[in-house]
Chain A
Amino acid sequence: MSGPALSLRGLVLRFGGLLAVNDLTMEVPRGGIVGLIGPNGAGKTSVFNVVTGFYKPASGYVEFSPQEGPARKITGLPPHEICRAGLARTFQNIRLFGNATAVENVMAGAYVREKSRWWMNILPLFPSAMREEREIRESAAAMLERLGLEKYMDAAASSLPYGAQRRLEIARALSTKPSFLLLDEPAAGMNPQESAELLTFIRNLRDEFSLSILLIEHDMKVVMGVCEHIWVLDQGSLIANGKPDEIKKDPRVIEAYLGKEAANA
């Protein structure tokens, strides 16, 4: 019915003299699970940072189509506005609110959709605000339960085991009620069994929360297993894109990852 959920058009990003992203054009279809891969330093996280508003591109733009309403340019918006528009992300190096509890992390994520003002909850005078606070707490608890984190509810986020921290970060992102999720290396630090479970987990997320997902990942089993379409970056430039099977065989991709000899062999 409609165009892509997210499209990047001619994106250029420079750090001083260094060209981090070079004329990148790509898109993610609505409801799709799409991978963004490439060797270290290819500029993948930089792309995420442009999309979520932390870096301003030198030229080009990002266009986002929310669940409802027309597509809009989001380049130039501050990060919190981009989140409000419906994009949420996780971080490669897990950035939780470490001193807060798990449930507080998720609740803070829900704040962007909260209607009552900050002063309304000081005195119990606003029934609507009290109701909303209660709902936020309850749905945060439900979210933790959904992601299997209920036993960590009141534990400090930084004290959680590694895998649980990754899931908590996703729970927090989901509590902002996004229609688009960016996952930065969701399988990092997981053992083979955990990353195998991740495949179904990501698919279920997409279906349950009607998301479009763009993910960065180094674990090729995960990428090939879950992504419906893959874009490959090398040194800031797009070198290939296509279905997982096509990418696997693409000589340019093999060269970028393994060097020239491997590609010729």
Chain B
Amino acid sequence: MNFSMFLQHFTNALGLGSMYGLIAIGYTMVYGILRLINFAHGDIFMLGAYFVFFATIQYKIPWALGLVIAVLGATACGLLVDRIAYRPLRDAPRISALISAIGVSFFIENASIVAFTGVPRNVIQPKLLMEPFALGTVRLIPLSLMVPVISFVLAAGLLWVIYRTKQGLAMRSISHDIETTRLMGVSVDKTIALTFAIGSALAAVAGIMWALRYPKVEPLMGMMPGFKAFIAAVFGGVGSVAGAMLGGLSLGFIEIMSVAFFPKLSGYRDAFAFVLLIVILLVKPTGLLGEKLEDKI
């Protein structure tokens, strides 16, 4: 493998990894606060991709406006999921909420099959993003640089919100102790809704970038990236935004690089994430950057 090929794989891994990271942030934030695996998160990602497809390609809305519509639409769906399927179960055993999450995911996927048909649709990539340019000996397209840049900017912005704003403080304190936070006069439901909104918006952005990168959309496209991003969140340490990005990048690099160096493994690519999950749970269940949660006896 020569250097320019390696660099090609490197940018691919960076792009894939940062998209995993963006999706993982939504999982990690919701899990950090509610101890709930939001199974529907991968489907919000899919909806984001579909919305931008319909807006720009079907209805010819300008790209900039289409992006806003898609992100807002997916965010609204994320909020709706929380309101309808999770909020009634806040005081129920956690496992009930988990089953509800599975039900919602199942619902969104099948409703999408009904609404959009199961046939994959091609996304037309804007020329602007596809015009190759040379960087030394390597030819790159703007899209493959844009994906990691946007992801990192968004993640950095989120960290600022979490550590520098009042809403961020509320989120952090809910994840420590939801009851006490309620007593302190923080509107817990609103803060949780905000968490869902942020997570869904980021997932939608990731979905849009995904649709541009692998130019097609289909109703089940969110399933695998969703599972993998959750694994990335666990790998990075559940509850930690930086950990989610780190986990996403690690997973992206593992997937791309192992296939790049051992092409025979390409059939097993989807299994790497799950092997990684089992390994990390055995070796360091709290993940790379996570904190330990202990049960009181």
Question: A and B from one assembly?
Answer: yes
Give A contacts to B, CB under 8 Å.
45, 49, 54, 91
Question: Closest B-chain residue to A46, C-beta based?
Answer: B297
Cα(A10)–Cα(B99), bound, Å: 48
Question: Least Cβ distance of B176 to chain A in Å?
Answer: 16
Question: Least Cβ distance of A45 to chain B in Å?
Answer: 8
Please indicate the chain A residues that have their CB under 8 angstroms from the CB of B297 in the complex.
45, 49, 54, 91
Please indicate the chain B residues that have their CB under 8 angstroms from the CB of A54 in the complex.
297
Question: Closest A-chain residue to B294, C-beta based?
Answer: A15
Give B contacts to A, CB under 8 Å.
297
Cα(A54)–Cα(B295), bound, Å: 11
Question: Closest B-chain residue to A48, C-beta based?
Answer: B297
Cα(A185)–Cα(B297), bound, Å: 14
Total number of A-B contacts with CB less than 8 angstroms? 4
Cα(A91)–Cα(B297), bound, Å: 8
- 4 closest A-B pairs by beta carbon, nearest first, are A54-B297, A49-B297, A91-B297, A45-B297
- What would 4 A/B residue contacts be, using CB atoms closer than 8 Å? A45-B297, A49-B297, A54-B297, A91-B297
Question: Closest B-chain residue to A49, C-beta based?
Answer: B297
Cα(A253)–Cα(B297), bound, Å: 27
Question: Closest A-chain residue to B292, C-beta based?
Answer: A16
Cα(A91)–Cα(B295), bound, Å: 14
Question: Closest B-chain residue to A55, C-beta based?
Answer: B297
Q: Is the interface of B mostly helix, strand, loop or mixed?
A: loop
Question: Closest B-chain residue to A91, C-beta based?
Answer: B297
Cα(A227)–Cα(B164), bound, Å: 55
Please indicate the chain B residues that have their CB under 8 angstroms from the CB of A91 in the complex.
297
Cα(A206)–Cα(B297), bound, Å: 26
Question: Least Cβ distance of A91 to chain B in Å?
Answer: 8
Cα(A22)–Cα(B297), bound, Å: 20
Cα(A105)–Cα(B148), bound, Å: 56
Question: Least Cβ distance of A185 to chain B in Å?
Answer: 14
Question: Least Cβ distance of A28 to chain B in Å?
Answer: 21
Cα(A45)–Cα(B297), bound, Å: 9
Please indicate the chain B residues that have their CB under 8 angstroms from the CB of A45 in the complex.
297
Cα(A54)–Cα(B297), bound, Å: 9
Please indicate the chain B residues that have their CB under 8 angstroms from the CB of A49 in the complex.
297
Cα(A223)–Cα(B297), bound, Å: 23
Question: Least Cβ distance of B291 to chain A in Å?
Answer: 11
Cα(A13)–Cα(B251), bound, Å: 39
Cα(A91)–Cα(B296), bound, Å: 12
Cα(A212)–Cα(B168), bound, Å: 53
Cα(A49)–Cα(B297), bound, Å: 8
Question: Least Cβ distance of A248 to chain B in Å?
Answer: 31
Cα(A49)–Cα(B294), bound, Å: 14
Cα(A66)–Cα(B297), bound, Å: 25
Question: Least Cβ distance of B293 to chain A in Å?
Answer: 14
Question: Least Cβ distance of B92 to chain A in Å?
Answer: 16
Cα(A47)–Cα(B17), bound, Å: 47
Question: Least Cβ distance of A30 to chain B in Å?
Answer: 27
Question: Closest B-chain residue to A15, C-beta based?
Answer: B294
Question: Least Cβ distance of A172 to chain B in Å?
Answer: 17
Question: Least Cβ distance of A144 to chain B in Å?
Answer: 26
Question: Least Cβ distance of A41 to chain B in Å?
Answer: 13
Question: Least Cβ distance of A55 to chain B in Å?
Answer: 9
Question: Least Cβ distance of A183 to chain B in Å?
Answer: 15
Question: Least Cβ distance of A3 to chain B in Å?
Answer: 29
Question: Least Cβ distance of A50 to chain B in Å?
Answer: 11
Question: Least Cβ distance of A118 to chain B in Å?
Answer: 25
Question: Least Cβ distance of A191 to chain B in Å?
Answer: 27
Question: Least Cβ distance of B103 to chain A in Å?
Answer: 24
Cα(A76)–Cα(B297), bound, Å: 18
Question: Least Cβ distance of A170 to chain B in Å?
Answer: 18
Question: Least Cβ distance of B55 to chain A in Å?
Answer: 51
Question: Closest B-chain residue to A92, C-beta based?
Answer: B297
Question: Closest B-chain residue to A52, C-beta based?
Answer: B297
Question: Least Cβ distance of A96 to chain B in Å?
Answer: 15
Cα(A200)–Cα(B297), bound, Å: 29
Question: Least Cβ distance of B15 to chain A in Å?
Answer: 40
Question: Least Cβ distance of B259 to chain A in Å?
Answer: 42
Question: Least Cβ distance of A12 to chain B in Å?
Answer: 19
Cα(A45)–Cα(B296), bound, Å: 11
Question: Least Cβ distance of B296 to chain A in Å?
Answer: 9
Question: Least Cβ distance of A87 to chain B in Å?
Answer: 15
Question: Closest A-chain residue to B296, C-beta based?
Answer: A93
